[in-house]
Amino acid sequence: MNVARPSAEDLTKALKVNPESGNILIKVVLCGPVSGKTTLVYRFTTGRSRAGMTPATIGAQFFRKAVSVSGETVELQMWDTGAYLTALHGLNSSKLLTVYLTKAHGVVLVYDITHMESFRDLRDRVKYIQKCVHEETEFVLMGTKKDLEAGREVSRELGETFAEERGFHFFEASATTGENFNELFHCLAEQIVRKKRQSEEDGRISLSSVRQSRNNHRSQCF
């Protein structure tokens, strides 16, 4: 299936500011097999554990949370997609995933460290997911259920190498103990804001060099 990749300009335009709060808005999409995506984002946004039944996510759920990055408040707008969208069980579900991924600033790819199949599944889908987003989009690979060390099937090294080869950030976390899940979202927000500042800086530099070259041009003329 051909996917129209958003341009750099599209992504820059998509980095919006909330007109009421003046905060930067960042779009993050969580993708992957059944692994704990909803449990993770629920704990991050509410600070509470998801007790009892944890129903499968149908389509996608929306979550939001503000975090502070170097003194600046950033609002994370997170789409938690259901596993079946990533599994590409048919054209319609894959098209839906593409819609959620459009203009994402960050993608969190989640697998379950106690389930090798979930890692393989994700590995097979990554290329497709990458095609749906801009090349500047930040990726985090996250192995969840770190609290279940005794049942581990995916070694830390395997996840780390996979992430390293693709330039993704890498974390292992647990929604049960709370280990690393805050760090994961902060890291993502930080990287996105850093890139934004860098591109603003580059814009200023190139603008000033354009002005400079215009001035030089003028001075040659007169």
Q: Is 180 in the site for ligand GTP (CB under 6 A)?
A: no
Single out the residue of 72, 136, 147, 190 in contact with ligand GTP (rule: CB under 6 A): 147
Q: Is 96 in the site for ligand GTP (CB under 6 A)?
A: no
Q: Is 86 in the site for Mg ion (CB under 5 A)?
A: no
For residues 143 and 65, the answer to whether their CB atoms sit within 8 Å is: no
Paired residues of 28 in beta bridges: 78, 106
* The residue type at 187: C
Dihedral sign for Cα atoms in the order 96, 191, 154, 35: negative
98 binds, among Mg ion, ligand GTP, none (CB under 5 to 8 A by kind): none
Single out the residue of 35, 57, 94, 144 in contact with Mg ion (rule: CB under 5 A): 57
Cβ neighbours of residue 173 under 8 Å, at least 6 residues apart? 40, 142, 143, 144, 146, 179, 180, 181, 183, 184
Paired residues of 172 in beta bridges: 143
Determine the interface stretch with ligand GTP among 17-25, 49-57, 186-194, 211-219 (rule: CB under 6 A).
49-57
Query: Which residues lie near ligand GTP (CB under 6 A)?
Result: 34-39, 54, 56-57, 82-83, 144-145, 147-148, 174-176
Query: Which residues lie near Mg ion (CB under 5 A)?
Result: 37-38, 57
